[in-house]
Amino acid sequence: MSVRSGRRVRAGAMIGICAASLLAAPAQAAPPPEYLKITKVSGAGSGCRQGTYEGAAQDRGKRFIMEFNDYVVRTPRESPADEVQRNCTIKLDIQTVPGWTYALVSVTYRGVALRERGAKASLTARYYFEGGTGNREQSYPDIAKVDDGVLNEFKVLQQSQETVYMPCDSKRSLVIPTRLDVEGQSNARAEVQLGGTDGMTTVVDFEPISCPQP
């Protein structure tokens, strides 16, 4: 009889401990429909004239995809519209959602390029938050391997040097300037186009995190 009573007491104590642990555990914030919102996308430059680019959020805002349909340079020029240098500055206005903030993880630039012997093809890029963190401008010379005039895909990844989370309940603008250049000697061909075969051109990846509870 006393043994049974002891068992009841221990079981009751364990239930009480478990209940206390559950009450003490911090509540996990439920994932929102969107971790962040891109409220506006704007572009300026010869590589992203009005109507030649678009963007869309994916994975609840953790990824943003930019597409361009006229961001290309080539030499020798095949038409009066061809250029040997083009640039584009994309600006994303980003709004945090209640209870969440984010850090920029990386920006990936994808495209196709060709380069014959005696020609040069390069991409120059950087990104930064207005009035905040970012990375320095970097040039990627000869992103196309010397080939017999065949367009090959390329991918350039720029990762954040450190993880910096934006303040909660903030609105920031992410600026992404890029430039494409080609140069040829003795009619050597070169061409660079910012745009992958699957439509994914510039990919911006974010890391969301829940804000501290007051």
Which residue, among 176, 69, 183, 192, has the nearest Cα to 123 in the 3D structure?
A: 192
Is 5 within a domain?
no
Backbone angles phi, psi at 158, to 5 degrees: -115, 115
Which residue, among 46, 84, 28, 90, has the nearest Cα to 65 in the 3D structure?
A: 90
Q: Do residues 127 and 176 make contact, with C-beta atoms less than 8 angstroms apart?
A: yes
Is 48 within a domain?
yes
Query: Which stretch of DSSP H or E encloses residue 115?
Result: strand 100-115
Per-residue pLDDT of the chain (214 residues; tens, 9 = 90+): 433 333 333 433 433 333 333 333 334 457 789 999 999 999 999 999 999 999 999 999 999 999 999 999 999 877 777 899 999 999 999 999 999 999 999 999 999 999 998 899 999 999 999 987 788 899 999 788 887 678 889 999 999 888 889 999 889 999 999 999 999 888 889 999 998 666 668 999 999 999 987 6
| Residue range(s) defining the domain that contains residue 176 | 29-210
CA 98 from chain centre, in angstroms, equals 22
Is 6 within a domain?
no
Is 88 within a domain?
yes
**The token pair that represents 26 in the structure block:** 């911090």
For residue 10, what pLDDT is reported? 41
Is 102 within a domain?
yes
Query: Which stretch of DSSP H or E encloses residue 180?
Result: strand 171-184
Q: Do residues 114 and 189 make contact, with C-beta atoms less than 8 angstroms apart?
A: yes
Is 42 within a domain?
yes
The CATH number for 77's domain is: 2.60.120
Cα angle 124-126-128, degrees, rounded to a multiple of 5: 165
Q: Do residues 189 and 120 make contact, with C-beta atoms less than 8 angstroms apart?
A: no
Is 23 within a domain?
no
Is 16 within a domain?
no
Q: Do residues 210 and 149 make contact, with C-beta atoms less than 8 angstroms apart?
A: no
CA 91 from chain centre, in angstroms, equals 12
The per-residue pLDDT for range 70-117, each reduced to its tens digit, is: 999 999 877 777 899 999 999 999 999 999 999 999 999 999 999 998
Number of domains into which the chain is organized: 1
